[in-house]
A and B are shown apart, each in its own frame.
Chain A
Amino acid sequence: MIKIVDLHKSFGENHVLNGLNLDVQRGETMVIIGRSGCGKSVLVKHMIGLIRPDQGQIIVDGDEITNHREEELFRLRRKFGMLFQSAALLDSMTVGENVGLGLRYHTSLDKEAIQERVKSKLALVGLSGMECLEPAELSGGMKKRVGLARAIAMDPKYVIYDEPTTGLDPIMADVINELIMRLQRELSITSIVVTHDIASATKIADRISMLHEGKIIFDGTAEDVLRSTNPIVEQFIKGSATGPIKPV
């Protein structure tokens, strides 16, 4: 499980996280919602040590990672897969090489076995037979899905999805929702999903947390969220321009 205690992070004068607390239980799908720019991506990057906190603790499976040295972080990251918001495919490599990269350097699988694995992961995200394309030849949504295939290629214990359905058509978005749920069910992966997509959130979440002004201001099941009388949550769910959140 992942436990975050009193996390603070600022970029210059921009105080992004302000004493944030969050627990992610083993095997659950935790969805993090919040306005654009509120710090969701920054929060999840803390979990794998890509960003160091100014203050606070991040505990992964009982290990406090805040003061980990770089080598220890690399060991930690083997437990994680992450889909970046921007997909972040390596553009000097083909789709297949991107998906198989972790397998190639961290397992003793031979070429054929890796190709098999890559093929099956690409099939999961609806991109069968696209191994040889270059990232530059893909649409935004296709890149996302390659990034997703790469994130789950090593069958990690935790998968972080940063806006997995943004930029996908509604049908493909639901395919990805189903995939996230299936991975959780079948491989008991713990998922952390960042999203703005309320339909997707309520479908896949065991728990939804809302990030607002540097803190988690709400934490509950999908029903809790939909029934919530917290004006901030209510406004966000309804997608209303009027309310306590000022759309600056």
Chain B
Amino acid sequence: MANLLAFIGRKFISFIEHVGGVFVLLGRVLKSLPWLFGNLGLVVEQMSQMGVNSLPLVLITSIFTGAVSAIQAAYQFQDFVPMRYLGTAVGKAVVIELGPVLTALVVAGRVGASIAAELGTMKVTEQLDALKTLAIDPVPFLVSPRFIAGLAMLPILTIMSDFIAIMGGYTVALLFLDITSNTFLSGLKMFFHFRDVIAGLVKALVFGGIISTIGCYQGFQTKGGAKGVGRSTTKAVVISMVLILIGDYVIASLVF
């Protein structure tokens, strides 16, 4: 019993330490922004990498998400709700929820993992020490560009994902559900609030911050060799995904 309590206590303390560590890291990122402004090349490089890394996966995910949400909505509407609301349902689901969250989950798996693996490898092969020895602080040099790129790219990817997903739903509606183009599109426009899009993009922004911050933090925490890199990569993905889902709930309850 005492052992169990001690175990829980230790876990709790280390949890608090990590939370503190993440905020310290964020603070150092903020402090480095003026410097980063003079080295925008670093940010552009990360943005293009994130985009290239995630775009194909995001697009495939989005097409099928949109398609499936159209089929599911049509099934639930049967005999109760007129089909002219199908576009509304698909549009709302995609813009508010599916677009931002699924994009973020996919990017967490792809980009979050690669950030953690890259920085983790640099840590265990003394490359971070080498940077420090050259009097280059790894936080502005490595973390800040990734952080800003995450903030910038997630909303962009989410907009693309929204668009493609709606196209997916539209295609399914036209081809398999006997709904005319007009019906779908008028439904889509009917309750279309700009606020929904903004809410979705705010989510994307927060998720982008989560993915790069957690990826970098886990990378820096890496110890040991290849095994350690594997461990922190997994942790980065799992923690970001959990935080994305929690963040989704928090933002939803604040906005709506």
Contact = CB atoms under 8 A, between A and B. Distances in A.
16 contacts: A50-B133, A74-B135, A74-B137, A75-B135, A77-B132, A77-B133, A77-B134, A82-B130, A82-B133, A86-B125, A86-B126, A89-B130, A90-B127, A91-B127, A92-B118, A154-B134
Given A102-B136, A150-B134, 20 more contacts: A48-B133, A50-B129, A50-B133, A70-B137, A73-B132, A74-B135, A77-B132, A77-B135, A78-B135, A81-B133, A82-B130, A84-B133, A86-B125, A89-B127, A90-B127, A90-B131, A101-B136, A102-B134, A105-B134, A105-B141
A45 B129 contact: yes
A88 interface: yes
Contacts of B131: 90
A105 B42 CA distance: 12
Interface in B14-58: none
Interface centre among A81, A90, A91, A101 (most CB of B within 10 A): A90
Interface residues of A, number: 26
A106 interface: yes
Contact of A90 (B130, B132, B135, B137): B130
Interface string A56-97: 000000000000001001110110111010101111100000
The 9 closest A-B pairs by CB, nearest first: A88-B130, A88-B126, A102-B134, A77-B135, A82-B133, A78-B135, A74-B135, A50-B129, A90-B127
Contacts of A106: 135
A84 B136 contact: no
B134 A84 contact: no
A52 to B, nearest CB: 13
Contact of A84 (B122, B126, B135, B141): B126
A106 B197 CA distance: 44
A84 B38 CA distance: 30
B193 to A, nearest CB: 44
Contacts of B127: 88-91
Nearest to B134: A102
Interface string B165-206: 000000000000000000000000000000000000000000
Interface string B113-155: 0000010001001110111111111000100000000000000
Contacts of B129: 45, 50, 84, 88
